[in-house]
Amino acid sequence: MKIISINAGSSSLKFSLYNMDGEELIASGNFERIGIENSFYTIKYNGEKIVEEIDMPDCKVAVQILLDRLVTLGIIESVDEIQGVGHRIVSGGEKYTKSVIITDRVIQDLIDLKDFAPLHNPAHVLAIKAFKEVLPHVAMVAVFDTAFHQTMDKISYLYPVPYEWYKKYGVRKYGAHGTSHRYVSNLISEHLGKKDLKMVVCHLGSGGSISAIKNGECVDTSMGFTPLAGIMMGTRSGDIDSSIIPYVMEKEGLNASEVIAALNKQSGFIGLSQKYSDVRDILEGINKGDEQCKLALDKYVRTVVNYIANYYVELEGIDVLCFTAGVGENSIPTRKMIIDKLACLGVKIDEEKNNVMGEFKNITGKGSKIKVFVVPTNEELMIARDTLALLMK
């Protein structure tokens, strides 16, 4: 059975096409600058990479071009081969605790939940509607980033603010990256042949989140009401004193939306380094003696370490610590810095084994009380698996 996983943004659409008989990735790609001048797409298949500039005024046109190219490039013989479409959805609020078949009711719920992911949910809805028009008889599944975190208890997900805010407006922690955290925790459980594990998963990329997982279920996670909370990130601040917001509004003559935009897009690595949002550039800067880059990386490591240490206490110990996503999978020195700071917990890595990028690896050091793994995440495959499971019911 061929299933396509879709991750739609406000002006982009990423896809991965799988043959689920053997979970084989057939093709993948990205359609960018949709609705903007100079739009183009990239498709990778069979070791080849196709790039074409083409006008894509809206999401429906992008979907039509995608399906047309899959046929004309010989990747599939006909669109009839596609038997399911899985959509990554950033926020399902409290309503959705697992993946579901997409119905008109689900689409309306995604629209109603747009305040929890204003940059994402409207784009997801556009993509769903576009696929429904082009592939009207193909079943579609919504896979929610927030669903994995719905096992948190009230102590973890409630904020110490007026309780009426939660009851009236849904003010609580929702988390994000749940599909990635679920994929990594499932893979480690399978690899070790154990489900009764206490695990911390560090999804460290341009965005980043850390989750405490016990027996395969999320106990706590670093991102909050929105993805702005938690650890420091590429351009996001992570946790700050909320009183900073009105203070800066008054000093700079900004409104609340403008300050939030600065916390989302001008903070984190790029805010502290004043130059770079990418850890690779930060490390290059450090090698050249740039003190701001060093400050930024040291701050980043501290925020990550603090969350891991917090979850160590919350879980009453950790069996496994995992690193995933762009930084987690590929930044050898950043992993080492984090682990070195956790030495007091009895965790050690083998520096030779840690010399790895983008591949599954046990990097645990001799005598370590906690197993340490690098685990390439695969949210697209998780989406395809959920889609298959629901279609087979």
Residue type at position 213: I
Residue 393 DSSP SS3: coil
Residues 6+ apart with CB under 8 A from 142: 87, 89, 92, 96, 99, 100, 101, 102, 106, 110, 124, 128
Q: For residue 40, what are its two tokens?
A: 């183009």
Strands (E), the chain: 2-8, 12-19, 24-32, 40-45, 48-53, 82-89, 100-101, 139-144, 198-204, 208-214, 217-221, 320-324, 361-362, 371-374
Catalytic member of 109, 145, 220, 386: 145
Whether the CB-CB separation of 301 and 334 falls below 8 Å is answered with yes
Half-sphere exposure of 299 (CA within 13 A, CB side): 24
The C-alpha atoms of residue 86 and residue 5 are separated, in whole angstroms, by 5
Q: Encode 61-92: b = buried (16+ Cβ within 10 Å), e = exposed.
A: bbbebbbebbeeeebbeebeebbbbbbbbbbb
Residue 316 DSSP SS3: coil
Looking at 266-365, list the stretches that DSSP marks H as alpha helix, in order from N- to C-terminal side: 268-273, 279-287, 291-314, 325-330, 332-341
85 beta partners: 4, 140
Whether the CB-CB separation of 96 and 147 falls below 8 Å is answered with yes
Residue 197 DSSP SS3: coil
Whether the CB-CB separation of 6 and 88 falls below 8 Å is answered with yes
Query: Is 145 annotated in the active site?
Result: yes
Backbone φ, ψ for residue 51 (5° rounding): -125, 130
Whether the CB-CB separation of 9 and 88 falls below 8 Å is answered with no
Backbone φ, ψ for residue 261 (5° rounding): -60, -40
Backbone φ, ψ for residue 177 (5° rounding): 60, 20
Residue 220 DSSP SS3: strand
Active centre residues (catalytic): 145
